[in-house]
Chain A
């Protein structure tokens, strides 16, 4: 298996996901195994791409055929502070409020 239980745990930590949440230890184990199997199947499926013969094919620079049209450097304030803060679950003194990080 290309995707081990350790890979699943590492990935979940990076994504700040607690796979054991709301479960007993045994259920968490089973859940992690399920994820490992499913992720492994995805990776295996993608490996089919590696079978294509790409000799003599220029590597693609980007999957997008487009280039980014730049915008002119002209400042414009379109939104008010109230509008932007309006989406915040919590705000105070014109700031977004988040759980203390230091």
Chain B
């Protein structure tokens, strides 16, 4: 695939950072949370005091293993932390504690729906490391340092250069975010920096086996930035290469305000990280039992679940996509279906009533108290002809607030579905008698007017008439 019409093929690889959803930091037990007053979640370990010793967080290791298995990686039962040295005030140790060789996970694979069909993106590695703090440059001759974030556990997911367009790079990031949020590995909040990525871009002639020289765009924290920065970089490379020049291998900064990238440092200033094994941290050992237990507990991933909802339960892809957007929502749906096997109707109730109504009330759906049991029961009442979907829609907000079973509330409001032939027949006959012109036209061949009469009867019964029965009775009297 070449970049349409340019004669160049785009090659992109991503390095994705995701903050892990642990309660405490990677190497100390300071709380792991976003924001707060500066330096209120710090200790000698995460501020890099001499002599303070790191202790690895068990849960961070478990989450990294979970992410690795979800991406079909090999889990290294022994892995090692190394020090990556560089100087910046937000990095109090003077080095980041990261993993070089071997990382905790290697050689995985992720399947995405690319711009030109399904694409298999190889994962080179996933490793554990700690995040840096934050610098603020407000003073004239000084900078302020807040180390609340220092020591936050991260995984870095490094893809192979298997992406072939900026659009696919965005889809890959979306895919990872969806997967990791679903698994509870990260909260995926890109605005708060919980997930961010570096994008490596290079070009080559289609069919070439060699990669071109790449530039790296640092720290993109929105899907729009990834897309725009990668597109800009592709154009920039094309211009340079078409003019007979060569691209500098360099790190670049993307400025979303101007929509341009600029070099951050020249080749001479390229960092020399001097990785070496961290003497403070013995090897990290993952037991085969942990790997197998994690594998066994790994939930069905969103894509597979969506496929199953469509193929086995007959939902359309929009319905299925919304439901699998959250593991809890999908779980609620499945529980309801287990109680009453009417997947389509339950999905309709969830997407057409429960989600919009809870949004109107400014609540999360699970805060309404209307759960699997209530969904299954309501679907059952509709199917048994006790209430119509229309009535459920009308009384849904009260249904949430009252907590009453649907048929009880409908009865109180005189909206129980009328399936009593006598009562309905009366309404049908009155509708025909009250509208002689339409009745004559119907009998004259304008059979589309049937829906007009259904509407009249529905109005007369306040929407509580059983539509199937009304149709039947109307036909009986109009066709005779």
Point out residues on A near B: beta carbons under 8 Å: 10, 14, 16, 61-62, 64, 66-79, 81, 84-85, 87, 90, 92-102
When A and B form their complex, which 7 residue pairs have the shortest distance between CB atoms, in order from nearest?
A: A73-B59, A95-B144, A70-B58, A96-B145, A75-B31, A75-B24, A98-B89
Q: How far is the CA of A79 from the CA of B28 in the complex (A)?
A: 12
B55 touches A68 (CB 8 A): yes
What's the nearest-Cβ distance from chain B to residue A16, in Å?
A: 6
List B residues 36-88 near A (Cβ within 8 Å). 37-44, 47, 49, 55-61, 78, 80, 85, 87-88
Interface centre among A69, A73, A90, A94 (most CB of B within 10 A): A73
Q: How would you classify the secondary structure of chain A's contact residues: helix, strand, loop or mixed?
A: loop
Q: B58–A95 contact, CB under 8 A?
A: no
Instruction: Say yes or no: B37 contacts A64, CB within 8 Å.
Output: no
Using Cβ atoms and an 8 Å threshold, which residues of chain A touch B44? 79, 84
In the complex the two chains form, what is the Cα distance from A74 to B31 in whole Å?
A: 8
Closest to A69 in B: B55
CB-contact partner of B32 in A75, A79, A97, A99, under 8 A: A75
Q: How many residues on B have C-beta within 8 angstroms of the other chain's C-beta atoms?
A: 50
Partner of A72, one of B58, B88, B140: B58
Complex CA distance for A50 and B414, rounded to whole angstroms: 93
Contacts of B191 in A (CB 8 A): none
Nearest chain A CB to B284's CB is how many angstroms away?
6
20 A–B contact pairs at CB < 8 A? Answer: A68-B285, A70-B56, A70-B58, A71-B29, A73-B57, A73-B60, A75-B29, A81-B42, A84-B39, A94-B37, A94-B146, A95-B39, A96-B144, A97-B145, A100-B139, A100-B140, A100-B143, A101-B88, A101-B135, A102-B143
Contact, CB under 8 Å: A71 / B137: no
With A74-B24, A96-B147 given, can you name 14 additional A-B contacts, CB distance below 8 Å?
A: A67-B285, A68-B56, A70-B61, A73-B24, A74-B23, A75-B30, A75-B31, A81-B38, A94-B146, A95-B144, A97-B142, A97-B144, A98-B143, A101-B135
Assess whether A95 is in contact with B145, with CB atoms less than 8 Å apart. Answer: yes
Chain A residues contacting B281 (CB-CB under 8 Å) are 68
* Measured CA separation A62–B283 after assembly (Å): 7
Q: Tell whether A64 pairs with B22 under 8 Å between CB atoms, given A93-B38, A96-B147, A98-B89.
A: no
Question: Cβ of B413 < 8 Å from any Cβ of A?
Answer: no
- Interface residue B209 (Cβ < 8 Å from any Cβ of A): no
Q: Are A84 and B140 in contact (CB under 8 A)?
A: no
Q: Is the CB of A61 within 8 A of B283?
A: yes
Chain B: minimal CB distance from A71 (Å): 4
The smallest C-beta distance from A59 to any residue of chain B, in angstroms, reads 12
